[in-house]
Structure 1
Amino acid sequence: MVLKVLGSGSSGNCYILENANEALIIEAGVPFKEVKIALDFNISKIAGVVTSHSHGDHSKYIKEFAKAGMNVFIPSDLLETSAEIGNFAGTLTHQMRIPLRSNFTIIPFEVVHDVECYGFLISHPDMGRLLFCTDTSYIAYRFKNLNHILAEANYSNRIMEAAGQDYVKRNHVLSGHMEIGTACEFLKVNNNTGLRNVVLLHLSANNADPEQFISDVENVVNCPVYVANKGLEINLDLCPF
């Protein structure tokens, strides 16, 4: 299983979990054609598409996926505000379990943003248990036996204070995004001997320090730590050798 990052941040978010036979698309914030290129145009392997929330950098191109016949799972408010989505597999709730007619299973859970928003606990025999969570002030849960964590680390209070940002801009950043200290506390609580990878998502262009964030997280987990830059690919196999 490989993680491919097609975008992570305000310009557009999209992540692919892919093995030889299957692919899961997380977030639809980049054009469908970019996904097709990343999959060498083998779109028949796409088991489904899940979107965390209705903001454009996460869902702008969801209609393209739906019109191509993909199994699309979206928050209910996105369906309510976009009657043109057309074909879709279902609306997300925190109580559902998505089998996707493949080896992927997904359990959504609610997070803290300024719109309806979900994180995902994703399981597959090839990679084990993966947690995906972005655009939230914090994650109020502890998860057992995680093998991979993809979690937001959007900004640093220290950087924002040093920049002296005005109230409006600061309030926008603080509205439903996770600070690096909060991210580290979550990762510390969920660290375990089976954790193989941590990937930091959705870093702010102006309020984050990628190298420092990696260093901060390396102090609380015992595995490789990455920043989700466009083009990043990581092996997620449970048995990489």
Structure 2
Amino acid sequence: MSLFIASLNSGSNGNCYYVGNSNEAVLIDVGISCREVERRMARIGLSMNKVKAIFISHEHSDHISGVAVLCRKYKLPVYITPATMLHGRLMLDCVVNFADHVPITIGDLVITPFSKLHDAAHPHSFTVACNGITIGVFTDLGAPCDNLVRYFKQCHAAFLEANYDEQMLASGRYPYFLKRRISGGKGHLSNTQALRLFLDHRPSFMSHLLLAHLSKDNNCPDLVHQLFTQHAGNTQIVVASRFKETQVYKVSGKAPVEHIAIPNDELARQYLLF
């Protein structure tokens, strides 16, 4: 059974990531409005009827701003820690707590949360696995900690933060305190840090890497795409946009022969969306 992945939005203006199989799916974070989630999923042939749960990584507004409306409209459980719930000041109808490294089963999907370095109350990243295929959703990372390395090595595909170019950040307009916050070990992952993780710990079976949470002011999509592509080998490199959804990518557990994405009409047939 293959997994299907897409970024619905990725950046400081909102984050939302889709991972699912032919029967069920989960959303990781909902930092865009319910209406935008619906619109973007519809444009790439994804159905909200398959979404069975929402997982929240931490309480910053670009990860939670749309969750209350979406979960209420579709009666979805929200998996979230008590500290994130408290600091996010969220009022949710159906809440399920989770713990580090303890897998959660939703249909055939197995979601595993793990703690990470970020300036939030109780931040987590996640892997989503099904029948031997594993997807990682790794953003808002202050540094590539041991947990991140451990789970990155398991992934057939991953969303990986590449937030800023170090030179652009250093010479940019941000005030000193904000530059320190971003690069200080509990902020965000630089292009260089992300590339080092990729080079040192990428498994041979990783077919897709979606670079995520790029800074609007301190990074450039073309720059980071070129940086990773020259080292990519059989891994397809995609830059997730802060303005629109990506297409849907099929992760089958086999390295792609060519870097060709599946057309939406073919995806619809394979995915049995409707």
TM-score calculated relative to the size of structure 2: 0.79
Counterpart code for 1:24: V
Which residue of 1 is the match for residue 166 of structure 2? 157
1:82-114 CA-to-partner distances (Å, cap 9, x unmatched) read 3622212x12321321102x1111111111111
The verdict on how the C-alpha distance between 1:185 and 1:46 changes in structure 2, with shifts beyond 3 A counting, is same
Counterpart code for 1:225: I
> Does residue 11 of structure 2 align to residue 13 of structure 1?
no
> Does residue 253 of structure 2 align to residue 236 of structure 1?
no
Gaps of 5+ in 2: 257-261, 263-274
Which residue of 1 is the match for residue 181 of structure 2? 172
Which residue of 2 is the match for residue 207 of structure 1? 218
Which residue of 2 is the match for residue 124 of structure 1? 130
Q: Distance in 2 between matches of 1:166 and 1:72?
A: 36
Could you say what secondary structure the match of 1:205 adopts? coil
Aligned sequence identity (%): 22
Would you say the 8 A contact 2:14–2:32 is kept in 1? yes
Could you say what secondary structure the match of 2:91 adopts? helix
1:8-47 CA-to-partner distances (Å, cap 9, x unmatched) read 1111111112444222111111122333331568433212
Counterpart code for 2:116: V
Which residue of 2 is the match for residue 85 of structure 1? 92
> Does residue 72 of structure 2 align to residue 72 of structure 1?
no
1:197-241 CA-to-partner distances (Å, cap 9, x unmatched) read 011110000000211211222244321111101221142231679
Which residue of 2 is the match for residue 197 of structure 1? 208
Q: Distance in 1 between matches of 2:10 and 2:79?
A: 20
1:56-102 CA-to-partner distances (Å, cap 9, x unmatched) read 100112212332310211132232243622212x12321321102x1
TM-score calculated relative to the size of structure 1: 0.89
The verdict on how the C-alpha distance between 1:212 and 1:41 changes in structure 2, with shifts beyond 3 A counting, is closer
Q: Please, what is the CA RMSD of the aligned residues?
A: 2.2
Which residue of 2 is the match for residue 48 of structure 1? 53
Would you say the 8 A contact 1:14–1:28 is kept in 2? yes
Could you say what secondary structure the match of 1:212 adopts? helix
1:129-172 CA-to-partner distances (Å, cap 9, x unmatched) read 11111111122223444210211000011112233643123123
1:142 to 145, 150, 172: 150
> Does residue 45 of structure 2 align to residue 33 of structure 1?
no
Q: Distance in 2 between matches of 1:120 and 1:4?
A: 15
Would you say the 8 A contact 2:82–2:97 is kept in 1? yes
Q: How many residues align?
A: 238
Would you say the 8 A contact 1:25–1:49 is kept in 2? yes
Would you say the 8 A contact 1:145–1:194 is kept in 2? no
Would you say the 8 A contact 1:73–1:92 is kept in 2? yes
Would you say the 8 A contact 2:19–2:128 is kept in 1? no
Counterpart code for 2:6: K
Gaps of 5+ in 1: none
Counterpart code for 1:199: L
Q: Distance in 2 between matches of 1:231 and 1:165?
A: 27
Would you say the 8 A contact 1:54–1:75 is kept in 2? no
Could you say what secondary structure the match of 1:177 adopts? coil
